[in-house]
Amino acid sequence: MARPTGSADLPLHGGRVPHWLGVRMSQLGRVIVEAIVLHYGREELLRRLAHPFWFQSFGAVMGMDWHSSGITTSVLGALKRGLAPVSHELGITVCGGRGRHSRRTPDELRAVGERTGHDGDRLADTSRLVAKVDSAAVQDGFELYLHGFVVTDDGAWTVVQQGMNPDRRQARRYHWLSEGLASFVDEPHAAIDGPPQGVIANLTDTRARPSRAAQLKLLGSGPDRILDALGEPAQPRLPHLDLPAHHDVRATDVRGARLRATLAAAADRGPTDFTELLLTPGVGARTVFALAMAAEVIHGAPFRFSDPARFSYALGGKDGHPFPVPLPVYDETIRVLRRAVDQARLSNTDRLAAVRRLDAQARLVELTAG
């Protein structure tokens, strides 16, 4: 049975992603997804999207504000645009989105069902039920406004949806994963991200099973008895990622040892892997460092993503923190990864293996540095 994996405070941010960044996010997101699917398969991609720490880090490495709720909308939008041309080839489709796009999710899922032979109506019902659970069964003060449904041709899926509390200027992100899902109403979430808001009515908690049964029994007894019977619900005990309101990236937001290890690995492996092996002239130290950070997103286990702020050092951030996005470095990073993935599709894995060695070298340096 899928269980919650953590929570996070997400400051609610407005604004739009500029076109120049949105286009690049789609390209970089697509090539990272292709690399993950090539190495680990579609199911692993769904597991990562269902992990709130990895999801936040993924958005940061693509150049979004490292701590904001806007990562959710931007990442899902970038993946929907970027993967659309190759969805048939990869066997992965991103449906839904924000506002009016979320309301189109059932129709998009029925189209997936027609193409793949799966029951599209059942997928559409799943989409509606997931949204209903997080808006009615989990009453935590956040109104849903975004619903993203990522489905494979095998029928496996991940849902990422987000609610907002405008009064508090905060957002909460909910993660679902079909793998191991035994019930939609008994601890179905892979994770819930968001700030604690006092008493929360979470009827999906396994400890609420007797309460659910009792409520059904009490329906015929009138509202007074139901109100008398209600008690204070138990709070979920989850790891908590606290994403602060400040825009700048501070030393306290980053695990310095890992950041230094990635820098050292980029300096050490760069000339060998990217001049001699990849034969990519003109790739400088900044591009190699960005590639090393992207390599960790591709290959790193979930426990490594406890500090999403670190990944904002890969290609900067939309809001200018920790530095403005360097477009030549961003474009070169996409070009090198795209070349490596394209070669891997032709059974020439040397270039993609070189990217992986950057991540391996960073971990080695991290261990030896203590």
DSSP assignments along 22-72, one per residue = HHHHHHHHHHHHHHHHHHH-HHHHHHHHT-HHHHHHHHHHTTS-TTSTHHH
- Do 110 and 224 reside in the same domain of the chain? yes
- Do 227 and 80 reside in the same domain of the chain? yes
- Do 65 and 205 reside in the same domain of the chain? yes
Residue where a domain stops, chosen among 242, 264, 294: 242
Write down the pLDDT at residue 35: 96
First to last CA, the chain: 36
Collapsing DSSP states into helix, strand and coil, what is residue 143?
A: strand
Residue where a domain stops, chosen among 213, 242, 271: 242
- Do 259 and 350 reside in the same domain of the chain? yes
Q: DSSP letter for 202, please.
A: E
The token pair at 183 is 């019930």
- Do 162 and 271 reside in the same domain of the chain? no
Strands 92-98 and 7-11: unpaired
Domain count along the chain: 2
Report whether 351 contacts 340 (CB < 8 A). Answer: yes
Write down the pLDDT at residue 187: 52
- Do 158 and 260 reside in the same domain of the chain? no
User: What residue type is 228 in one-letter code?
Assistant: D
Residues of the chain with pLDDT under 50: 1-5, 184-185, 188, 198-205, 207-208, 211-219, 221-227, 229-239, 277, 370
The answer to the question of residue 74 being in a domain is yes
Collapsing DSSP states into helix, strand and coil, what is residue 190?
A: strand
Write down the pLDDT at residue 365: 81
- Do 296 and 193 reside in the same domain of the chain? no
The answer to the question of residue 145 being in a domain is yes
How buried is 209 (Cβ within 10 angstroms: 0-12 exposed, 13-18 middle, 19+ buried)?
middle
- Do 48 and 179 reside in the same domain of the chain? yes
- Do 280 and 233 reside in the same domain of the chain? no
Handedness of CA 34, 39, 41, 42 (dihedral sign): negative
- Do 97 and 19 reside in the same domain of the chain? yes
Q: Supply the Cα-derived Rg of the chain in whole angstroms.
A: 21
The answer to the question of residue 2 being in a domain is no
Domain containing 152 equals 7-242
Report whether 116 contacts 95 (CB < 8 A). Answer: no
Residue where a domain stops, chosen among 221, 242, 263: 242
Report whether 309 contacts 61 (CB < 8 A). Answer: no
The answer to the question of residue 168 being in a domain is yes
Q: Give pTM, 2 decimals.
A: 0.80
The answer to the question of residue 43 being in a domain is yes
The answer to the question of residue 35 being in a domain is yes
The answer to the question of residue 283 being in a domain is yes
- Do 126 and 175 reside in the same domain of the chain? yes
The answer to the question of residue 185 being in a domain is yes
CA distance 184 to 318: 37
The token pair at 53 is 């720490």
- Do 162 and 281 reside in the same domain of the chain? no
pLDDT tens digit string along 146-166?
999 999 999 999 999 898 888
Q: DSSP letter for 194, please.
A: S
